[in-house]
Each structure stands twice: as C-alpha cells, then as structure tokens.
Structure 1
C-alpha cells in the first residue's frame, strides 16, 4: 500500500515536451519554433551586454549581502519597474496611488494577484482570450477562482482579431469578473487590438464594472519602444481604472531563469495602499515568503543607471528588429514559393509569437515529416527563425499546406 497509489499521470506541458523532442532529434536540419526565448541570427541564446555589466558591478560590490529581502521584495526594483510601465508623468505615479511587488517573474505576479483577488476580494470568475497563454487557466484556477470563461479573440478565417466577438463576450460578462488582457504582443497569436479598439474595450469594461488585469510579458521586446508597448496599460490608468499588471523581465532582459517579475497595483485612493499591501504581504508570506535578489538587482541596477538604461533600450530595439525582419523574410519567401493562402498576417502581427493558421494536422505534419517543432495550435516562435533556416521552414510550410489543405 502506497500513499501515492491513486495518483494519476499528469498531462505533459506541450512546449517543454516539444523542446525535449527537439533536443533528442538527431536530424541535421531540425528547427525549434516552439521555444519562447530569444535567439540570435545564429540560433544561439543571448546574454545582454548590460546584464553582463550589471553582474560584474554587483559581484564587485562588497556592501551587498545575502540577507532576506522584504516580503514584497526589493523596493528599488519594484519602483523602477512600475514607473517604466506607467511612465513618470502618469497620474497614478504623481498622486502616489500605485506600487509594485517583486514576484517570481510574470507567472508569480499572476499567481500572487490571482490569489489576492480570489481570497481577499472574493472574485470567482475570470475571463481569458481564446486562445491565450495556456498557463493563465491553471494559475487562476489553482489560486482559487471557481470559473474560467473565454472571450473570443482570434478569427482563423481572417487570421486576425475577432473584435466584434470580443466586445460581445465582454458585454455579456457578469459584473466584477476579472478580465485578463495581454498588454502587447498577444501570446500566442501576435495580434493586438488597435488604439481605437483598446478605447472601446476600456469603455465596455468600465460600463460592465469588470476588473482589468494586464499581463505584460513583452514591454519593449514587441516593438522596440517601451512607451508604445505600454500604451494600453497607460490608457486604462488615464481613464481612471484600478487595475493589476503582471510584468515579466524574462524576455526584455533575457533573464529567463532568474524569474524576475513585478506586480504593478493601481488604486484610486492612496489611503488604501497600506491595507492592500498588508494583505499582499500575507499572500506572499504563505506562498514563498520572499523573493530572490540576484535578478532583481540586475534589473534595478540597469533601470536606475541612465547610461545602462539607454544601452538596454538599444538591446531591445535590436532584438525586436530581428524578429520583425524574420517575419518579413518568412512572408516574402512563402509568397515567392506561391504558397496557398494569404500570409500578410505574418507582418501585420507583432512580438515573439505568431499564429500561422496551420491546423493541428498540418502542424503535426511539420514536426513528423520536416522536423520543424511547433505547437499543434499552429503557433510558432519567430525567434526560432534565422537567415539560415527560414527558406527551409517556408518550403516545409508550402509542402504541408499544399499536400494537406486546411478544410
């Protein structure tokens, strides 16, 4: 008799299973389009030069120690991260009614905030886009939400945003529901609302008394412009919303394994900051007690140093421009091959990921026949494309959609 005899085999996490299969594959021309991490034009991971510089400076600072951080984390980091998101002249910043909490990357920010919403505020229903990052549902349900509902987002026929469906679903959402919104570079589609569409989304959320919860994993990484990529969040704050925003520094700093995140909290009344912080303190204390220091020190060192901050912005412009270039090159190659279908969405969308429009059958064919590893949803990571493999990938897509038409 074992205490664990009734434990059932859990479902594999697709993207990690895909990476393992890729690593085990001995095919010479294999391509990994599943991994959500930046790669250079040579297909290699990149440690940002400002990160190297910060680590050297921190290693040589004998005043630093390994004592515990406060439960809500390093204030110099969270303050800088919050102001990077909202802007120095944001009304919430100027009126001292916003604060940040250092978390275990963006996932930790989502989980801490979701538990606060469920356990402290008694929220029961959350909405997520269809499709969305697969971990949203698991994080919110585990945190105590009773029900997750979808709002329409992707229209596969047009390979673009189903805006009418999105608005209709938000209009039908029960009051006080929590709405997860992707701040920029929607994962997995790469398709974002326009400025006017964001304004209409905000109007419906305000009218229906819904709570906006932004997930911002790609600020600066999407377009290369920190202000542009944060424009939706800033607009909501300017419209008077109270909101949460989960920030990740995995992509834009390349700190994937350091788990550096920030939860920005915006309130309408600065007098409420103290009680709200006290409840967040209890949530974090019961979850992981306090966060690690190394990654947060790196980010704080860069964000609070004007010279390094400018260098870092050059880095993110370089990363985003490489991705934009690969989008353009893939589209041009597909069109040159006269690949069936319209591929204009590849350059109309933004960020690390893109929905190709390939079906599950076609996506599995790409893996099995061409050794091009991509999610069965048809999502690909543009970072996996390089000048050396983009033609091979385009020819594989051409063969796939020609031999297996998507009906």
Structure 2
C-alpha cells in the first residue's frame, strides 16, 4: 500500500464498550458539615428557622456586620488613590502589616493598645531579642497559615505524629492529612463537665507523645467547644512541652473577639514565648473574625525559632524555605485585607475604634450566652447549663446528642452541627426564647422516654 493510502486509511472503531475515565477511582471526600448545613438552612422556607451552624458574626437582626472601623479604613484607602494598590506584594507579604500583626500577637512594646495609648513593656532589650527569634510571612488567612506551617514542619522536621484536640476545627484534620503526618487525638473535652479535660490531656501527652511531635493548640475560644485552659493550666502545659520536647502549633483565630481583650486572648502564646528553656513553635494568625474580613483572607504565620549564637542566619534561612513553599503554592498573599488591617493597626485613632468594635462583638456574644442560659433555667430544662456561661467565644458545645440535634432541626427548624455545637452569634433577642424552647422540648422528650 502506498504511503498516502496508509495515512488516508480509516481508523478502525474501538471495541464496543463504555470507556473508563482515568479519574473513575477517585475517592469521595467527606462533606464539609458547616457549609452543607448552611445550604440546607437557606433552602428551608420555614419562617422561624434559626441558623446556629455557620461560624460568622451576625448582628441582633441576623445580618452581617462590616466593622465601622473597617469601613473607615476602606474609605481612607480609597481616597489615597495609591496607584500601586493593585500591584503584587512580595512573596513574604506586606512588611509593615507583618510587623504590626506580630506585635499584636506577642505584645511587644511597639504595639498600641485599643485605647490608643502605646504599650509600655519596659524591657526593650528582651523585646528586641524575641523579635529576632520570629519569622513572619503573610498567608491566605488562618487556613493558609495552618496549611503553610504544617507543610513546612512536615518537610523540615519530619514529625512522627501531630496531636490534634478531640474535638477540633475539622480543617486541622484535613490539613495534616494532606501533608502526610500521622494524626493522633488527645482528649481535649470532657463531656461530663463540658469543660477542658486537663487531666486526660496531660496524661496523654506525657505518656504517648514523643520528642519532636507537633501538638495543635487553640490559643483562645476553642473551636468547637468554647472551653479553654485556665492560665494556671497553660503554664503547666508549657512545662510539659519543655520536658517532652514537643512542638506547639497555636491556632489564633479570635484574638480580641473572644474576651474583648487582646492581652487576655494572647496569654498562652506570650507565656510560651517567654519560657526558659525556650520553646520553638508556630502561630497561625487570622483576621477573619476580629476584623470581620471573612472573604478578604488576611492572615500570617509566625515561626518562633531558638537559634544559637553561631546560627544567627537561621531565621533568614527559615524565611527562605517558607517563601519557597509560598512561591510554589500561590506566589504571594492577597493585599486588600492586609492593607485594611495595616491601616487600622498603625493608627492610634482607628486602633481605639477597633477596640470598641471588639467589645461590641464580644459583648453581644456574652449577652446571648446569658440570655440562653436564663431562658433554659426559666423553662426548667432538665440538666445543667452552667457550661454555656463558662465557655467563651463564638461557639458553645451544648451537650446535645446527635439524635437530639436532628430532632431539633426536624421539629423546630433550628440548625446546628451534629456535635451539638452552636454559633452564639446566631442567637438574638428575637429568637433566643424560641431556641431555648426547642432545646427544652427535645431534652424533655428524651428524659421522659428514659423514665418510662
């Protein structure tokens, strides 16, 4: 056959069978419950429906609340007409933003308190020494900081295990699964007391954790339980980390939002920073909650190192490695949210207004805790409910079981996670009584069924 005839010959048909995609064996990942629950809530047409699932701040009318100080900062940025406002950041990020973010976490004397005054630490030499230990890099909010920190530790230190509180923010599990470090739970929450399980946590870390293991810690307002260690317990935990050679990884998503105090909410991190012998650790910092910048994705990762005198270049080498990971992942962080945070934190006037916004948000959360507790007591709802007041921050672990949660959703259209976690900001003066009656109804039904 001539060469031209070979090329012109028809291609014989493939065997008569359905082709298989190369992706046919993909596993089905677990669904993200909060977002799935939110979609179910939005499709519900019941007029009295209540959303206690999504972890975002809401006003008393149930609406989003752009912080007034953020709106003012946005106006200032718009009026400045900076021609470079859409340019790339460096791979490390906005240097001024990073310094302000670092000082906010660690309480250095260059910080400004919410009342607009400069913090006087008094030990400038120690501050300078501590600052030199810290490597900071801008991230895509707290999730990006957790992911970058996990990737960096997995590649550089090769920890055998990462100890994750049970329960925890679900994304901790996903992030550490993706970097290939074996995940192990430690019993953070005591269902009987509905509080932090200090004894079991200590026992687990002392007897099972190995030198070089990473331990995830919620710096304040533990998600999902709202149960935090006391200052005394934090101090004792730091000693255990020193003795065992463990690597703390703090997730700081609620500084100032939890208690209304920047200092109170950063106590654990600052204590670990000033421990002797020194502890090396990570802090994933988010500005989603305390600035209301959920969609702007402003955050930072801070790596606290302990270089010897002969290792003065260690922080720069660590930054180079982090930057290398960022470059291959997303090149650099977005600048819109970080510019807002930088504008607020660098202005005494705006800083003071931000402090007022924080007190507004944290104060409303506390008021809703009190209101729900009062309503349950007024109804005589079976069980003890003091934990609602003892817990802190956006979330509360109610103690409701999964069947009770599903019953409340079906009967009363009140949406919460299957674990019984509720977002306190979803409560308001118009619905808190309704929610309390819904809880009372289901709890009484279970209590009566047990007695029969």
TM-score by length of 1: 0.97
Corresponding residue for residue 204 of structure 2: 169
Distance 1:193 1:184 in 2: 9
1:117 is aligned to 2:153: yes
Distance 1:118 1:52 in 2: 39
1:295 is aligned to 2:333: no
Equivalences for 1:91-110 in 2 at 5 Å?
A: 93-95=127-129, 96-110=132-146
1:200 to 224, 236, 249: 236
What is the Cα deviation at residue 92 of structure 1? 6.6
Higher alpha-carbon Rg:
2
Corresponding residue for residue 9 of structure 2: none
2:400 to 358, 364, 376: 358
Distance 1:103 1:347 in 2: 34
Distance 1:184 1:77 in 2: 22
Corresponding residue for residue 159 of structure 1: 194
What is the Cα deviation at residue 97 of structure 1? 1.8
Distance 1:202 1:64 in 2: 47
Q: 5+ unaligned residues in a row in structure 2: which ranges?
A: 1-18, 110-120
Equivalences for 1:362-377 in 2 at 5 Å?
A: 362-377=404-419
Count, aligned residues: 406
What is the Cα deviation at residue 297 of structure 1? 0.4
Distance 2:289 2:219 in 1: 14
1:188 is aligned to 2:232: no
Query: Helix, strand or coil: the match of 2:313?
Result: helix
1:85 is aligned to 2:123: no
Q: Deviations over 1:71-130 (max 9, x none)?
A: 111111111001000011487742122132110000000000100000122223100111
Equivalences for 1:185-264 in 2 at 5 Å?
A: 185-239=221-275, 240-264=278-302
Query: Helix, strand or coil: the match of 2:239?
Result: helix
Corresponding residue for residue 35 of structure 1: 54
1:132 is aligned to 2:135: no
Q: Is the 8 A contact 2:136 2:319 kept in 1?
A: no
Query: Helix, strand or coil: the match of 1:256?
Result: coil
Query: Helix, strand or coil: the match of 1:261?
Result: strand
TM-score by length of 2: 0.88
What is the Cα deviation at residue 204 of structure 1? 0.8
1:268 to 284, 306, 311: 306
Q: Deviations over 1:168-206 (max 9, x none)?
A: 011021111000000000000000000111111111111
Distance 1:215 1:388 in 2: 33
Corresponding residue for residue 14 of structure 2: none
Q: Deviations over 1:341-361 (max 9, x none)?
A: 000000011000000000111
1:46 is aligned to 2:65: yes
Distance 1:192 1:169 in 2: 18
Q: Is the 8 A contact 1:358 1:377 kept in 2?
A: yes
Query: Helix, strand or coil: the match of 1:35?
Result: coil
Q: Is the 8 A contact 2:135 2:318 kept in 1?
A: no
Distance 1:378 1:291 in 2: 35
Distance 1:210 1:113 in 2: 15
1:285 to 320, 327, 344: 327
Distance 2:350 2:135 in 1: 24
**Cα distance, 1:45–1:161 mapped onto 2, change above 3 Å:** same
Q: RMSD of aligned C-alpha atoms?
A: 1.4
Distance 1:43 1:115 in 2: 38
Corresponding residue for residue 62 of structure 1: 81
Distance 2:169 2:161 in 1: 18
Corresponding residue for residue 177 of structure 2: 141
Q: Is the 8 A contact 2:362 2:393 kept in 1?
A: yes
**Cα distance, 1:251–1:307 mapped onto 2, change above 3 Å:** same
Q: Is the 8 A contact 1:82 1:99 kept in 2?
A: no
Q: Is the 8 A contact 1:92 1:266 kept in 2?
A: no
Corresponding residue for residue 15 of structure 2: none
